Amino acid sequence: MASMFLTQVRDYMMARRYAKRTIDTYLHWIKFFILFHKKRHPAQLAEPEVEAFLTWLAVERHVAFKTQATALNALAFLYRHIVQRPLSLQLNFNPAKTPQKLPVVLTRAEVAALLRWIEPKYKLLAQLMYGSGLRLMEAVRLRVKDIDFDYLSVMVWQGKGNKNRRVTLALELTPSLKQQITAVQLFWQADLQNPVYAGVWLPFALAIKYPAAPKELNWHYLFPSGQLSKDPQAGCIRRHHLDESCVRQAIKIAAKKAGIGKNVTCHTLRHSFATHLLESGADIRTVQEQLGHSDVKTTQIYTHVLSRGGNAVKSPLSLLLHGDGGSV
């Protein structure tokens, strides 16, 4: 990295164990902000320059609301922790538009077709995303210990918003999951014979509290990578989880082979989970808990795509054609 200032920001975040994705994202927006103001040092800038940048993103670049919010979070971090001059809570800038985007939902038949066509090595992951409503990263980051066969549940740790939750597990996945754990055990046994293997990565606090845990089977990823890799922070050799980009590609390919004409992503399986739960009679609070939403209003978006037979809204044309209005 050419800029000494950005290197300082990166080192600060790495020392405090920020997630690599967060580091990369914040550095991107901080660099963008500096370039926008013709490479002036952030210490020479203040709230008016931040407001101008955020307004420009919305008005000229037409970024989405979440993108603008991410940029604001990065700059708030910059001024609070690096410049040590926190931004005002009363910033005045043009907010990006927030059009409501309805989720893409598959029918049960479409989900079944997708699961038939997906590459076998990714099928269990897809089944978990649909069967338990998991986000992609929540699924690939699962550890062996997170599967509770006794209570048929899955523990999700540090999900979106750094929240933990317990979600349902389909009984039908028990044999496949036990087979997957056996495969993980084979990797684990081979890795322990490797003198340079440092064990699986653990969050900093856990690694200190449980120093032996990195080499215990239960802490290893349920969906491990096929090869060892170097930990970019510690410099040691570990086995990381499966690359999530491979799962995204597998879902896209399976949807195409299944002839599904919708824009199918990994998150579509989570949307379908929520919608199908509501269709089956589950109350919205239960679905909210399963998805890990803080506000039930977030969950309510799935009621817009429901089709509950007689309770669904019927087109007036249908009433006209099948009622007393005769043919038209």
Q: What residues are annotated to the active site?
A: 135, 160, 267, 270, 293, 302
Helix, strand, coil abundance in the chain, percent, nearest 5: 55, 5, 40
Residue 207, class by beta-carbon neighbours within 10 Å (0-12 exposed, 13-18 middle, 19+ buried)? middle
Identity of the amino acid at 177: L
Query: In this structure, how many other beta carbons lie within 10 angstroms of the beta carbon of residue 154?
Result: 25
Among 184, 141, 130, smallest CA distance to 164 is for 141
Q: Which of 143, 166, 164, 163 is nearest to 154 (CA)?
A: 166
Question: Cα separation of 269 and 276, whole Å?
Answer: 10
C-alpha to C-alpha distance for 161 and 230, rounded to whole angstroms: 28
Distance in angstroms (rounded) separating the CA atoms of residues 222 and 44: 48
Length of the chain: 328
Q: Which of the 8 DSSP states describes residue 222?
A: S
The residue whose two tokens read 């991107």 is: 28
* Look-up of token digits 């064990």: 199
CA distance 112 to 103: 19
Q: Point out which residues pair with 237 in neighbouring strands.
A: 197, 230
SS3 for 196? coil
State how far the Cα of 288 lies from the Cα of 295, in Å rounded to an integer: 8
CA atoms of 136 and 244, how far apart (whole Å)? 7
